[in-house]
Amino acid sequence: QKEVEQNSGPLSVPEGAIASLNCTYSDRGSQSFFWYRQYSGKSPELIMSIYSNGDKEDGRFTAQLNKASQYVSLLIRDSQPSDSATYLCAVKPPGSARQLTFGSGTQLTVLP
């Protein structure tokens, strides 16, 4: 069983729509959760971090965390073609010093 799972996609949404990306994790007790955006051929860029249950908003991005159900999601409002990328979910499992476990990513395409 993968420790961090994401739907690989591809996920396609029309421009202006809400894109919803989901991630589940297996290690109950994980405390820190991150979303990275990775454009093709480039390195990952941190876009959101969340540590407490509930929602965290930053501009068009909202991260949602539910520790009881062991999932974390990322909503992108008013999606733009420039949001087309692979989105990686990363989790800091319990007991790790600073290492993160990454999902394999969801490829998002925003259609003009």
Partner 1 sequence: DGGITQSPKYLFRKEGQNVTLSCEQNLNHDAMYWYRQDPGQGLRLIYYSQIVNDFQKGDIAEGYSVSREKKESFPLTVTSAQKNPTAFYLCASSSTRPDNEQFFGPGTRLTVL
Q: Which residues bind partner 1 (CB under 8 A)?
A: 4, 8, 32, 34, 36, 42-46, 49, 51, 88, 90, 92, 97-100, 102-105
Shortest Å distance, C-beta 105 to partner 1: 6
Site of tokens 């009881």: 68
Cβ nearer to partner 1, comparing 1 with 112: 1
Helix (H, G, I), strand (E, B) or coil at 10: coil
Q: 44 vs 110, which CB is nearer to partner 1?
A: 44
Phi, psi of 107 (to 5 degrees): -85, 120
Q: How far is the CB of 61 from partner 1 (least distance, A)?
A: 15
Q: How many CB atoms lie within 10 A of CB 26?
A: 14
Minimum distance of partner 1 from residue 18's CB (angstroms): 24
Q: Within 13 Å, how many C-alpha atoms sit on residue 62's CB side? A: 11
Q: Which is nearer to partner 1, 17 or 101 (CB)?
A: 101
Structure tokens at 34: 């991150």
